[in-house]
Amino acid sequence: MNDLNQQTLTPGKKLQKDLIAGLVVFLVALPLCLGIALASDAPLASGLLAGIIGGLVVGSISGSSTSVSGPAAGLTAIVSAQIFALGNSFEAFVTAVFLAGIIQIAMGCMKAGALTAFFPSSVIKGLLAAIGTILILKQLIYFFGGDRENFETSFDIPGLDILKDTYTIFEGNLQPGPLFVGILCISLLIIWPRISFLKKTPLPPALAAVVLGVILQFAMSSMGEGWAITEDQRVNVPSLFDNSATEGAGEATAEIAANSDKEDGKQEKWFTFPGFLSGDFSVLAGIQVYIAAITIAIVASLETLLNLEAVDKLDPKKRPSPPSRELVAQGVGNCVGGLIGSLPVTSVIIRSSVNIHVGAETKKSTIFHGILLVLSVAVFATYLNYIPFTSLAAILLMTGWKLANPKLFRSLWKMGARQFAPFLITLVAIVFTDLLLGVIIGMVVSLLFVKVSTAAKPFTSDESVDNDGTTRLVLAEHVSFLSRFTIKKKLATIAPNSTVVFDGTGNGFIDEDALEMIADYIKESAKEGITASAEGLDLPEESAGLH
């Protein structure tokens, strides 16, 4: 009945639901755009620009009805490392973002939307958990009262360097005021979903934490040194109209902004243009900008495709999103972002899931949230500059905790060494080397647990048909995670109202990834009128999930 009601909504009612969803997504996105820029060691304005581009540009081109794009927590480690590798030049970094967009457009045109099928979920989960771990480590600095200018990570050994910078706070630099605000904000985020009347309010907990931080910093402004939140410990977003920091962030002028220290790659201005627009092609002569571009393109595309797959499962209407078209949309967004100075954009699971749960009908909700972000920076920039860094750090600490939750470790441990070893090794390798090398190491470990020769042969034959018309898919003796693409392609050919049996009686080993895919298909196929079952397989009762 609910589906029928959804289908009979008038255009006006659909638009109303989209506008409401767009408003709620905007409220969720605003603090995250600022927080992710902070975590990325990038200008705060670049995070807001990424949110705007994700809503207006990507939202207009994407074929997804529910996905919302913007700056992603999953790219913070990549962005920080690549800005450092490019000499702390944000101008050089946005050149890499532009080139990454071109690579993504090419990937989309080459139908590379099936990219995620070749990555084992254990490695992907390790990647996400590593990002969560790095996110937590990096936010400790701000949570305990540090500011952006006093702590510079060298990235020789990322995990150790971040801990070293955090340790310096305890050598006489601990600030009780920001710490007090941070503890209250993170406490609010923890208890919010556990109190029924708060959970039912339309105010997102992340925005509530920001509002609490602003109120507390005003209340503590007259307190002594160490308790009052200083200008260096607050957001500093420039005015959209005069390219200078607004009054709420201090008395900085456009001249000061333009002449800010270029060595640390931070500037108080809205737009950062790549040098090649003015005829300076020197950055294109170095190999590092291309390494950065390839890294951003691969990781951003992988995160987008994973999120797109998760979002389609959350969509109550089960509308499929074209993955290759999404790569093109993301590529165009990153090309635009690279030309004006934004962080890279991807499809983002937090904003997308909120968009779905609030009841978005079409991608107009995504576009509307982008419009609201434009209005917020045009009208309310002064008020954004009263937000303490420690409030944003509290939000990002919770985000990191969700990505690296102990429940994920326990679920993979229970699955055995084939899943847990690649997961843990990927996580450790990323934290102590870099993301791409860590993923490669994880992939190598995964391959050690499977027979690659049988990767593309999950079935002994394409199919057999029993006397009663049942399609019987007989599994091979060994089925690895690399067979996921073949399995997925085969399942897509099964007609509605069919009966299918997965015959595992002759199977000696099936990777947990493939088993999880079959289990999910059996659960979901009934919606298409397909009767699916399995013989000789120990199907998992529940999935560990990717997020």
434 plus 473 within the same structural domain = no
Short-list 138, 154, 136, CA closest to 146: 138
Q: Kindly report, residue by residue over 53-67, the tens digit of the pLDDT.
A: 999 999 999 999 989
Is there a single domain that holds both residue 443 and residue 460?
Answer: no
Whether 221 is covered by a domain: the verdict is yes
Average confidence score pLDDT of the chain: 80
- Looking at the domain assignment, is residue 4 inside a domain? no
> Among 352, 377, 397, where does a domain finish?
397
Predicted confidence (pLDDT) per residue in 73-83, tens digit: 778 888 988 99
pLDDT tens digit sequence for 154-183:
444 455 556 665 566 555 566 788 889 989
* Statement to judge: residues 420 and 296 lie in one domain: no
pLDDT at residue number 164: 62
373 and 501 inside one domain:
no
Mean pLDDT in residue range 81-104: 93
Q: In which element (H, E) is residue 69 found?
A: strand 69-70
Whole-number pLDDT of residue 4: 40
| 290 inside domain | yes
> What is the rounded CA–CA span in Å between residue 414 and residue 260?
52
pLDDT above 80 (res 267): no
**Do 465 and 442 belong together in one domain?**
no
Q: Look at residue 466 in the predicted model and tell me its pLDDT.
A: 67
**Structure confidence at residue 231 (pLDDT):** 79
8, part of any domain: no
479/390 same-domain check:
no
Task: Report how far residue 241's alpha carbon sits from residue 232's, in angstroms, rounded to the nearest whole number.
Answer: 22
| pLDDT band for position 148 (cuts 50, 70, 90) | low
**Which position has the token pair 């040194």?**
225
C-alpha distances (whole Å) from 34 to each of 28, 184, 248 are 11, 19, 16
pLDDT of 229-259, one tens digit each?
877 778 777 666 554 433 333 333 333 333 3
Dist. CA 9–CA 519, nearest whole Å: 34
The predicted pLDDT at position 30 comes to 85
Q: Cα(47)–Cα(53) distance, rounded to whole angstroms?
A: 10
Q: State how many domains the chain has.
A: 3
Tell whether the model's pLDDT for residue 5 goes beyond 60: no
132 located within any domain: yes
Residues 429, 339, single domain; the answer is: no
- Overall average pLDDT of the 538-545 stretch: 63
If asked whether residues 376 and 277 sit together in one domain, one would say yes
142 and 202 co-located in one domain: yes
Span of 152-166, 308-322, 357-371, 475-489 with lowest mean pLDDT? 152-166
CATH number at residue 511: 3.30.750.24
248 shares its domain with 387: yes
Task: Judge whether 541 lies within some domain.
Answer: no
Mean pLDDT over 404-426 rounds to 88
- 459 and 444 in a common domain: no
Q: What angle do CA 208, 212, 133 make, to 5 degrees?
A: 70
3: in domain: no
Model confidence at 545, pLDDT cuts 50, 70, 90, reads: very low
Range of the domain at 31: 14-397
CB distance 317 to 356 below 8 Å: no
Separation of alpha carbons 281 and 465, rounded Å: 63
Q: Stretch 131-140: mean pLDDT, rounded?
A: 80
Same domain, 443 and 464: no
The verdict on residue 545 lying in a domain is no
